[in-house]
């Protein structure tokens, strides 16, 4: 059984990573006119994994000793990973030898690039992310020497994907290299996408101030390319993060700006009320009641559908409760709105901050919530 399992697993892994593991196609089964219907035709990898599962199931029924077979599966997979890494290093060594050769300039760099690309693929299969990233970085430098900036930028982006699995700083640096190349090429849309990716990476890592810097750069480039929808996505992230960091004036300006651009677009105009509600919540959090009431009037001018809407009603009720320092009225207004339109986590978090302005004297006695 051990031999059978090992063979099936090794064959399945080899088939899986060789690129032969394509999606199953469908074919007719049966012969002549007696067709039994459509059945999936599995690839070799599916067959090998199926045999493995069948052998294991039978072995476990016969003896509890075969509960250790998951270890065998792991050993087979680990052996394949080591094999991929070895092949990767062999291709890397071949590529470095090509670079040191005295062959024709263009030809030797092209051959080295091919070797490095194969090496990187093997390192990825081995999940050796540092080696994959380093190899792709070398590949990018070769493409620069071959005067292929687009290929170089693509290699840097590919390198970042490997680096990001182990070290976000190296991944960010690789993306910045790609941004520099795309910018020099005039591919501002591509540069903006990588800047946005950097911002999202830094946001996940908790580096929110830096994240907003890159997202702002991305928004500017998207706007330059007239990709207003993409620019708005970046600005929304900046606005949300600004509010989380209690930078309310910045968040308010961004939300109001997005609302203004949205009402001018037939596809986006129905989202304007939501953006104005976010801006209004930030107004409340800034603890300026005159500012809140002025903002409500201004929002009616920005979007004519805002007047007498549930969003306007909520902001007005919350402003009244805040002015009266009535925590119960504040909670009731939030619950009434939430019963019809679910408030997301961001709005809830900011509203909890606003409620604390009312319940501050009792903050040590009870936990704030909106329920």
Report, as an integer, the average pLDDT of 226-252. 96
Residue 37 is given by DSSP the state -
pLDDT of residue 183: 98
For 111-154, write each residue's pLDDT tens digit: 999 999 999 999 999 999 999 999 999 999 999 999 999 999 99
Q: Which residues contact 312 (CB under 8 A, 6 or more apart)?
A: 296, 299, 300, 306
For 65-88, write each residue's pLDDT tens digit: 445 445 444 444 455 667 899 999
Residue 281 maps to a domain: yes
- The rounded distance, in Å, linking the Cα atoms of 10 and 135 is 27
Residue 161 burial (CB < 10 Å; 0-12/13-18/19+)? middle
Residue 200 maps to a domain: no
Predicted confidence band at 25 (pLDDT cuts at 50, 70, 90)? very low
Q: How many residues does the chain have?
A: 371
For 277-304, write each residue's pLDDT tens digit: 999 999 999 988 888 999 999 999 999 9
The larger pLDDT score, comparing residue 38 to residue 359, is at: 359
Report, as an integer, the average pLDDT of 229-244. 96
Give the per-residue SS3 of 147-206.
Answer: CCHHHHHHHHHHHHHHHCCCCHHHHHHHHHHHHHHHHHHCCHHHHHHHHHHHHHHHHHCC
Residue 166's nearest CA partner among 225, 104, 123, 119 is 123
Residue 324 maps to a domain: yes
Proportion of the chain above pLDDT 90, given as a percent? 67
pLDDT of residue 152: 98
Mean confidence (pLDDT) of the chain: 83
- The number of distinct structural domains making up the chain is 1
Residue 239 maps to a domain: no
pLDDT of residue 216: 98
pLDDT of residue 58: 61
Q: Which residues contact 361 (CB under 8 A, 6 or more apart)?
A: none
Proportion of the chain above pLDDT 70, given as a percent? 74
Q: Which domain holds residue 304?
A: 246-371
Residue 31 in tokens: 């012969």
Residue 297 maps to a domain: yes
Contact 337, 365 (CB under 8 A): no
pLDDT of residue 53: 58
Residue 330 maps to a domain: yes
pLDDT of residue 169: 97
- The rounded distance, in Å, linking the Cα atoms of 351 and 338 is 12
Residue 118 maps to a domain: no
Q: Is residue 236's pLDDT more than 90?
A: yes
Q: Which residues contact 63 (CB under 8 A, 6 or more apart)?
A: none
Residue 80 maps to a domain: no
pLDDT of residue 23: 38
The CATH number for 308's domain is 1.25.40.10
């Amino acid at each position: 059984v051990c031999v059978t399992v090992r063979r099936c697993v090794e064959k399945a892994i080899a088939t899986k990573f060789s690129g032969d593991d394509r999606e199953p196609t469908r074919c007719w089964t049966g012969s002549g006119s007696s067709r039994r219907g459509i059945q999936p035709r599995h690839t070799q990898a599916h067959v090998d994994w199926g045999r493995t599962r069948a052998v294991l199931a039978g072995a476990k029924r016969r003896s509890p000793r075969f509960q250790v077979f998951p270890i065998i599966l792991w050993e087979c997979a680990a052996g394949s990973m080591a094999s991929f890494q070895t092949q990767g290093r062999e291709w890397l060594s071949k590529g470095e030898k090509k670079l040191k050769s005295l062959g024709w300039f263009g030809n030797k760099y092209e051959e080295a690039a091919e070797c490095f690309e194969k090496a990187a693929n093997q390192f990825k299969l081995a999940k050796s992310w540092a080696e994959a990233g380093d190899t792709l970085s070398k590949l990018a430098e070769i493409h620069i020497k071959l005067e292929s900036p687009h290929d170089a930028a693509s290699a840097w982006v590919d390198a970042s994907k490997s680096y990001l699995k182990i070290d976000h700083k190296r991944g960010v640096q690789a993306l910045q290299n790609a941004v520099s190349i795309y910018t020099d090429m005039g591919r501002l849309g591509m540069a903006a996408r990588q800047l946005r990716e950097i911002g999202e990476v830094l946001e996940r890592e908790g580096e929110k101030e830096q994240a907003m810097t890159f997202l702002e750069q991305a928004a500017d480039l998207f706007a330059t390319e007239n990709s207003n929808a993409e620019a708005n996505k970046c600005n929304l992230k900046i606005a949300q993060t600004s509010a989380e960091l209690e930078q309310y004036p910045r968040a308010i300006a961004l939300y109001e700006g997005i609302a203004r651009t949205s009402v001018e677009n037939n596809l986006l105009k129905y989202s304007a009320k939501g953006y104005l509600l976010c801006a209004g919540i930030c107004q409340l959090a800034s603890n300026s009641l005159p500012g809140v009431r002025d903002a409500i009037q201004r929002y009616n001018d920005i979007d004519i559908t805002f007047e007498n809407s549930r969003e306007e009603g909520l902001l007005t009720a919350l402003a009244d409760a805040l002015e009266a320092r009535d925590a119960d009225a504040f909670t009731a207004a939030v619950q009434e709105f939430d019963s019809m339109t679910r408030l997301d986590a961001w709005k809830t978090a900011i509203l909890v901050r606003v409620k604390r302005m009312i319940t501050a004297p009792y903050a040590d006695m009870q936990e704030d919530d909106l329920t």
